[in-house]
Amino acid sequence: MRLKPTQKVSLISLTHVSFRLFIIVAIIVIIILICGCKNNKYNVEGFNDSRIPQKTNKTKTTIILHTPKSKLYATKICKHIKSKCITTDRLKIYKTIDKIGGGYNNIVIHPRTATPLNSKWINFLYELEGKGVKIINSPKTLQLTSNKLDCSFVLLNAGINHPLTWKGKKNNISTINKIGELLSRHNKLIIKPFNSISQGAYVQILKNTMSTNRIKKLVESIPTDPFVIQEFVEYKAIHRIIVINGIPLPFSFVDKPTKKKWKVSVCLNRDSMKFNSVPNKKLLDIAVNTQNVLKKHTKSKYKGIHFIDIFEKNNNTFTISEINTACSLLIHENLAKTAGHPDWQISKKIAGYLNSI
């Protein structure tokens, strides 16, 4: 049947309208996608979000390495792993690897313990890494971040905001003289072990009003040699930012000093640590920059998982306190859950990153 001229015109007009409508819809979709990406530079995660279903890898084995007393949180992470997952004590890692057998390229290890020393288990991690095992955080990163002296120098040399730091030696007259010289320019100093011990119990404050004998006694109370000498930071709060593969979780955990308590913590702190759902963006930026510096310095393949503690100073600026990789996050998760934050399951976020590797 032949169409009348008026019918042909109608069909052509309809086709033009449909084509124009298609173009308009396509443009709107593109604009929405562009705006969504630009809305927040931390919005697109560098790992598979654990809320998105992920395929189970039957050939992959994930090992969560923990201390003898920290199995609980390791187990919590394991529950969200999509492949075979094992929790093991760092002192039993050798037997665990033997049971798994070959296929090193299909093994991922996430250590939740660290040491600055060349201990047997850390050397074994180096050996496994050389055979193709994926270790997050890398053994070199574990050693650096747990060595508070060396890590301070790395961050300072990279231009990260960090307290001025000097190396101290016990039973050394040059160190005592150096402290005296520094106290003539700084009213207060901090001395502490070069590695983390007893949740900061050995951190001491030195004042320019103290006698030389008093300073010597405080130096002798530090259980490590060498030890850290650091400028005292007048701070109004300390924040913990958790950074996973270059992405900071969008909240912080905060504690504040008082007149009676100048030394506070954002690790195993059930008493005064609080949840902060809207941290200053500068906190997130300095945390991400710090993780990038660690990756570059250690030449690690993976950015890793870090708990970065940051001082908030009285002039509303921020400076690094220290970096951790091994603290339990049970208290932090409970605070985030109680606050009703949608991303309260930090263990699920960590597992999501490990699943993506």
Burial track 138-170 (b if 16+ CB lie within 10 A, e otherwise): bbbbbbbbbbbbbbbebbeeeebbbbebbebeb
- From first to last of its 357 residues, what are the pLDDT tens digits of the chain? 444 444 444 444 434 545 565 565 556 545 545 444 444 455 433 444 444 444 556 689 999 999 887 899 999 999 999 999 999 999 999 999 999 976 899 999 999 999 999 999 999 999 999 999 999 999 999 999 999 999 999 999 999 999 999 999 999 999 999 999 999 999 999 999 999 776 678 999 999 999 999 999 999 999 999 999 999 999 999 999 999 999 999 999 999 999 889 999 999 899 999 999 999 999 999 999 999 999 999 999 999 999 999 999 988 899 999 999 988 999 999 999 999 999 999 999 999 999 999
- 231, 254, 287 - which closes a domain: 231
Identify whether 109 is part of a domain. yes
Does some domain include residue 298?
yes
Residue 17 lies in a domain: no
| Distance in angstroms (rounded) separating the CA atoms of residues 66 and 328 | 10
The predicted structure's pLDDT at residue 101 = 74
pTM reported for the whole predicted model: 0.84
State residue 50 phi and psi, 5-degree precision. Answer: -70, -5
Q: Count the helices and strands in the chain (H runs, E runs).
A: 11, 14
Contact 203, 192 (CB under 8 A): yes
Per-residue pLDDT at 236: 95
Q: Are strands 134-135 and 107-111 parallel, antiparallel or unpaired?
A: parallel
Residues 267 and 319 placed together within one structural domain of the fold: yes
Instruction: Name residue, tokens 């979000």.
Output: 49
Q: Is 192 within 8 Å of 227 (Cβ atoms)?
A: yes
Tokens of 43: 């919005």
Enclosing H/E stretch for 285: helix 281-298
| Shared-domain flag, residues 243 and 273 | yes
Distance CA 51, CA 16 (A): 42
> Would you state the structure tokens that stand for residue 78, as one six-digit string?
């394991």
Structure tokens at 251: 């909240």
Asked whether residue 198 is assigned to any structural domain, the reply reads: yes
Overall domain count for the chain: 3
Last residue of a domain, one of 214, 231, 248: 231
Q: Assess contact for 109 and 133: CB atoms under 8 A.
A: yes
Q: What is the pLDDT of residue 222?
A: 96
- ∠84-112-116 over CA atoms, to 5°? 135
Query: Cis peptide before 226, with omega less than 30 degrees from 0?
Result: yes
Report the alpha-carbon distance of residue 270 to residue 323 in Å, rounded. 20
- The parent domain of residue 209 ranges over 164-231
CA distance 174 to 186: 18
Residues 225 and 244 in one domain: no
Q: Are residues 215 and 239 in the same domain?
A: no
Last residue of a domain, one of 193, 210, 231: 231
CB-side neighbour CA atoms (13 Å) of 356:
19
* The token pair that represents 347 in the structure block: 């263990």
Looking at the structure, do residues 196 and 254 belong to the same domain, yes or no?
Answer: no
Residues 242 and 344 in one domain: yes
In contact, 276 and 287? CB cutoff 8 Å? no
